[in-house]
Chains A and B, each alone.
Chain A
Amino acid sequence: MFGAVNALGEALVCQALHRGVKTQQRRREGPAAALLWQKPRSAAQQRHSVTAILSKMAGADGDDSLYPIAVLIDELRNEDVQLRLNSIKKLSTIALALGVERTRTELLPFLTDTIYDEDEVLLALAEQLGNFTMLVGGPEYVHCLLPPLESLATVEETVVRDKAVESLRKISQEHSPVDLEVHFEPLVKRLASGDWFTSRTSACGLFSVCYPRVSSTVKAEIRQHFRTLCSDDTPMVRRAAASKLGEFAKVLELDYVKSDIISLFTALASDEQDSVRLLAVEACVSIATLLPQEDLETLVMPTLRQAAEDKSWRVRYMVADKFSELQKAVGPEITKNDLVPAFQNLLKDCEAEVRAAAANKVKEFCENLPEDSREQIIMTHILPCVKELVSDTNQHVKSALASVIMGLSTILGKDNTIEHLLPLFLAQLKDECPEVRLNIISNLDCVNEVIGIRQLSQSLLPAIVELAEDAKWRVRLAIIEYMPLLAGQLGVEFFDEKLNTLCMAWLIDHVYAIREAATCNLMKLVEKFGAEWAQNTIVPKVLGMANDPNYLHRMTTLFCINALSEACGQDITTKQMLPVVLKMSNDQVANVRFNVAKSLQKIGPVLDSNALQTEVKPVLEKLATDTDMDVKYFAQEAISVLALA
């Protein structure tokens, strides 16, 4: 199938490869590259010349299609990392050109030997090899990819190693069961008994992918290896094992979960290092899901109770953070008896981090309580803790609570909400920390569904006003974003009366981002309340700003018009807005004038063709002869977009 042509090309690639293997650590420019640099310069002659040189070398006619591949391989050893990286990223092209056999016999050994390189290059290599199955000849030959990936899985740098493990996991699926036992599993074993911790940590991630598909003797070996790694003397390996414990448990037979995994779990959960213990909490969720309800109490709960009371806050934090998952995994009975008191303790923890994590889970925890006793548990056990958190000393705790507390109202219903929750909402609305108030306001919709927002409006207003004038512009920005929602819930009357002034005040804020958001807000309000409302309440004020002495405010008028014209419709745009825009074309500030051109371009489609021709066109033509180049530019752009030329 190969003609002389390809044979020649391959000879070159081959040469490069072998040279590569021999001198790979030096990365000198090889003869192939040197040859290339001496090529004639003329671009036109280039193709021809390359061929000529090639022919001279091999003494035969040939096409140069494989030639760049040889150079590419040369570039894998270039001094410049970037060039090596580029080359590695084209690895599939090289393999494709070489064909499956040469890829297996030459390219892969070369790559396996190249492993000493910059981590960035290795990362790219690890990633590429995960998709190489077809390039080495399909699943039948996929095991050829194992040697380079094995080396990569022992590299120090975590990202490289993780990527290598990811690729190994991927190609493990492409192994036949036989290959898995003959090639893959031995690799896992080698890694698991490696000298340096990196190979052992990598091994932890590979057990679960091969376990389900191997014979029972090999399974026993795998379990043994995993056990060994769980009691490794470096904490790094124990952490890796602990983090894969849940995943491994899922592929094990239930009996082995009970006999093996539980003891490993208990051991890891009482490790001397809290960084290991906290990972066992994550595994707890998976393990508890696997076990039948009647075994949970004896096999899992002692450890979980201990974790919830761990002396390290990191472990308690993890318990709080995973609380909803744990709750689902252990079921309603254990939740009632064990998790409720544990949750109360976490809500009262001495570390703010833990309290905040628990506060975040309040709503989810309550939602998932068994329905028959839900209300009673919340009222007698959870709510008292929540009340204390409202006046917590730490603002992160309060703000975590504020982001979920409103959700309790749907669970507790109207009466309880009014009696018990409302005072808490009101207290948080008056909190000194803006984030807390903001979180309450952003979740108003939950309460609205249950008791209607009116109950809150008296307290809401001062809170909104205060946030609207907060010193931090990001806070002001956040509250603006909730305005359309609030307006929808409070109704047009309340809005006109209390909030309209605020919305207009934002238009002349000192910060551009606020003015921009305010403009956008007006548009949404008009979409909500309709064009008539806009005409009566907003448009006059916006247009009034066209005469403001500050040019930034005059520009805001234009921005508002841009945003509002569509929502307001042709009539208002033509009759009220257009004259103002046209008048502003005489503004002495160039920024205003070119924004006039931009505005005209924007509102043009809303106007009727008569107004366009008789009013807009002359103004744009005048602006197109402006002294300022930007004004000219935008005027011309508008003319061409509106097709007025």
Chain B
Amino acid sequence: MSAISASEKVDGFTRKSMRKAQKQRKSQGSSQYRTQSAPVELSPLPQLKDAPSTEQQELFTQKLQQCCMLFDFLDSVTDLKSKEIKRATLNELVDYVSTNRGVLVETAYPEITDMICTNIFRTLPPSENPDFDPEEDEPTLEASWPHIQLVYEFLLRFLENPDFQPSIAKRYIDQKFVLQLLELFDSEDPRERDFLKTILHRIYGKFLGLRAFIRKQINNIFLRFIYETEHFNGVAELLEILGSIINGFALPLKAEHKQFLMKVLIPLHTAKALSLFHAQLAYCVVQFLEKDPTLTEPVIRGLLKFWPKTCSQKEVMFLGEIEEILDVIEPTQFKKIQEPLFKQISKCVANPHFQVAERALYFWNNEYILSLIEENIDKILPIMFGSLYRISKEHWNPTIVALVYNVLKTLMEMNCTLFDELTSSYKADRQREKKKEQERDELWKQLEELRLSNPTLVQNNCHGLPSVQNNNNNNSNNNNNNSNNNNDHQDKSVDAAAVATDDDDPDVSVAANESTPCAK
């Protein structure tokens, strides 16, 4: 007790780093629930390569059955001998199916899938760390990996064997098998997810009959992730597989695929953990747009709908994705979406978070985007001008200000007449905006008054609304007070506006000077 220092008493968290260090690299047992009684000790079988070819198949089956025995890896001292025997056997099996031809006879299929299912299909254990942050925390690793890895390896070699016949295997590698395989993508162990990714990809390639089912189940996993649990570890891996699947879609795209894009991929952008799979997600989206450019408008509108409101990190990712999309956009599509898109970009440029502003301003380093902007400068410049102009005066970050000057210069060169017009009307526009703002406020106040003085309306229009009429009696007094207050308030805001306008003055003149060289 005396060992606790004063500083630790003040902040019990000083030792967090130490605790974290201890915690790291924790491994976790599979949640195998009383699937079998205590393991019996395994005894080594002879090597497959030493057996006469007539007995090889029988021995192969025996070995497969031997590998169905499961061991408790959290207890690192029990069954050491048997564990080692299983490991060696699995290694031998991997070797056997990958180097020998003609070993995959029809009778072997059920034995093989049985061994695989017994070993890998399990309910994943509860997460050790309920608020596991994949970016910060070390993942919990699968304790039985020494065996499971070899089983995955075996499955992969099995699928890749030149003798492998999907027509026979489809009896065993069926929808149920795939479903269980997909559930495993939630594993916290990245090594496991990596294997699963390759395996699922092979299955998708070899079993044509399962393709639609696999896509639908992935859909379901994503929808559950988006709308129900917000938790699934394998989103990135599944997206990676989808990326290559989308690549192979035939044209014209089926309605099912478009629905997947709009109803699943776009809403995936709302996930809190977007950063973990954004690269893969953006790749999928761009793949779709390259296939079918007419999807550009709905996709960009979708992204604008889900544009992050508070998370700057995500905003930067969205901007990155928009740039990827703009890289492949067709000029006709660009025209359709330019207004809402650039309204958002102009907000991003004015973002106080410099990374967001910077990411948006980098668009002007992209030659293709520049050419699109130039083509449509008469539409885009009026949208962008206000933000850019204000930011060039106000942004706290000098890098941003420098970037904005360059952007303004580029835009000015594109259409200097319009630029001059906007510069000279800037002040008036701002004033108009302020006035709008002010008038809106007044309107709301007026509305409040109206609601308070509503009795006439209420009585005229709908008889017998007791709840509303209750309010009426004591309102006449309030009303007067309100209007007085309103007047006071308005006076103040008018003053404020006047002051603000004065402040703006010098800025405008500076900008006007800047634009003169262009005028010449």
Contact = CB atoms under 8 A, between A and B. Distances in A.
Interface of A: 1-2, 6, 36-37, 39, 41, 43-44, 46, 65-66, 68-69, 71-72, 79, 83, 86, 90, 93, 96-100, 118, 134-135, 137, 156-158, 196-197, 234-236, 239, 272, 274-275, 309-314, 316, 349-353, 466, 469-475, 509-511
A100 B468 CA distance: 14
B442 A46 contact: yes
Interface in B199-230: 220, 223-224, 227-228
Interface in B433-449: 435-436, 439-440, 442-444, 446-447
Contacts of B439: 36-37, 39
Contact of A510 (B10, B31, B34, B442): B10
Given A93-B447, A312-B31, A472-B12, 10 more contacts: A6-B457, A97-B454, A100-B461, A158-B227, A236-B224, A473-B10, A473-B12, A509-B9, A510-B9, A511-B10
Contacts of A510: 6, 9-10
A235 B224 contact: yes
A205 to B, nearest CB: 15
B30 to A, nearest CB: 10
Nearest to B226: A156
B462 A100 contact: yes
B267 interface: yes
Nearest to A1: B460
A471 B494 CA distance: 57
A509 B11 CA distance: 12
A6 B454 CA distance: 12
Contacts of A312: 31, 33, 123
A309 B440 CA distance: 63
Contacts of A274: 123
Contact of A313 (B6, B123, B228): B123
A68 B9 contact: no
B125 interface: yes
Contact of A236 (B223, B263, B447, B467): B223
B35 A37 contact: no
A351 B467 CA distance: 55
Interface residues of B, number: 56
Nearest to B449: A68
Given A99-B461, A158-B227, A314-B123, A68 B4 contact: no
A346 B256 CA distance: 44
Interface stretch (B107-115, B133-141, B281-289, B484-492): B484-492
Contacts of A90: 447, 451
Contacts of A135: 462
A197 B223 contact: yes
Contacts of B267: 156
B194 interface: no
A640 to B, nearest CB: 29
B9 A471 contact: yes
A36 B444 contact: no
Given A6-B460, A41-B435, A156 B263 contact: yes
A350 B31 contact: yes
Interface string B1-22: 1001010111110010000000
Contacts of B227: 156-158, 236
A234 B125 CA distance: 24
Contacts of A44: 487
Nearest to B14: A471
A309 B319 CA distance: 49
A510 B450 CA distance: 57
A316 B123 CA distance: 12
A86 B435 contact: no
A351 B125 CA distance: 8
B232 to A, nearest CB: 12
A397 to B, nearest CB: 12
Contacts of A1: 460
A118 B491 CA distance: 35
Contacts of B440: 83
A474 B11 CA distance: 10
Contacts of B103: none
Nearest to B486: A43
A36 B1 CA distance: 73
Report, nearest first, the 4 A-B pairs whose CB atoms are least far apart: A99-B461, A472-B12, A43-B490, A510-B10
Nearest to A197: B223
A353 B224 CA distance: 22
B81 interface: no
B379 interface: no
A351 B122 CA distance: 13
A134 B6 CA distance: 65
Nearest to B490: A43
B179 to A, nearest CB: 6
B393 interface: no
A234 B222 CA distance: 12
Interface in B13-67: 15, 31-35
A98 B32 CA distance: 64
B220 A234 contact: yes
A291 to B, nearest CB: 29
Given A44-B487, A351-B126, A473-B12, A71 B458 contact: no
A72 B447 contact: yes
B459 to A, nearest CB: 9
Nearest to A317: B126
A37 B465 contact: no
B68 to A, nearest CB: 16
